[in-house]
Amino acid sequence: MRVAIVSDVRLFREGLAAVLSERAGIDAEASTGVPPCHADGREPHLVLLDLSMPGAAATARAFREAAPEAGIVGIAVAEADDPAVVACAEEGVAGYVPRGASLDELLATVGRVEAGEAPAAPWIVAAAFRRLAELSAERRGRYPGARLTPREQEVAGLLECGLSNSDIAKQLCIELPTVKNHVHNILRKLQVRRRGEAVARLRA
């Protein structure tokens, strides 16, 4: 497997390339340019992108355009940096490895991305779902006529994404009874009786 490691810190990218090559037998190479070019002139199978460097989302987009078949994994992810993570997710970053991760955890993430998965910590998943809810609400013009509160709009967006009440509670960090109350109010304001009818109405 050919891997390109992209970071604005030379010691970091070259050191990680050496470790992956020596300990994991990966054909890893430090990279600074776009499009990514491996030593043999071929595109990499995977790009490890340092998300702590400025303009990481723009770099991810450039790599996606230059090497559309390559998976992109964000590394050195700072916890609670929701905007940066969401921006990179929108540009095609498929997996995330936090700053405190071990080499074994990095390799496990690489393997899962190669298998078609999108591994991420729970807080990253929560940030992505919150962004989905926002986009869903924006697309519908904030549910015209329904007069939903901002929190009800978030819940409605997650309902449309297919999340259960318990999943919504986890993503929004609120109690399950509170979610049930919001869902009840959404059904009433949308003038429907069932959850499935509400989802169909929201998607219409």
Q: Which tens digits make up the pLDDT trace of 77-118?
A: 776 556 777 777 778 788 888 888 898 889 888 888 887 776
Going from the first residue of the chain to its last (204 residues), give the mean pLDDT of each consecutive group of 10, the final group possibly shorter: 88 91 84 60 82 85 81 80 72 83 88 77 68 63 64 84 84 88 88 82 69
Instruction: List where CATH 3.40.50.2300 sits in the chain.
Output: 2-120
pLDDT at site 71:
85
Q: Which CATH number fits domain 2-120: 3.40.50.2300, 3.30.565.10, 3.10.310.30, 1.10.10.10?
A: 3.40.50.2300
Burial 178-194 (b: 16+ CB within 10 A, else e): ebeebbebbbebbebee
CA distances to 40, 43, 72, 98, 178 from 63, in Å: 18, 10, 8, 21, 42
- At 178 the pLDDT is 92
Report the CATH fold assignment for 125-203.
Arc Repressor Mutant, subunit A (1.10.10)
Is residue 6 within 8 Å of 59, Cβ to Cβ?
A: yes
SS3 169: helix
Sheet holding 46-50, edge to edge: 27-31, 2-6, 46-50, 71-77, 95-98
Residues of the chain with CATH 1.10.10.10: 125-203
- Show Cβ contacts of residue 179 under 8 Å, excluding neighbours closer than 6 positions: 155, 165, 166, 168, 169, 172
pLDDT at residue 56 in the model: 85
Query: pLDDT of 36-49, one tens digit each?
Result: 555 556 678 889 99
* pTM over the 0.85 mark: no
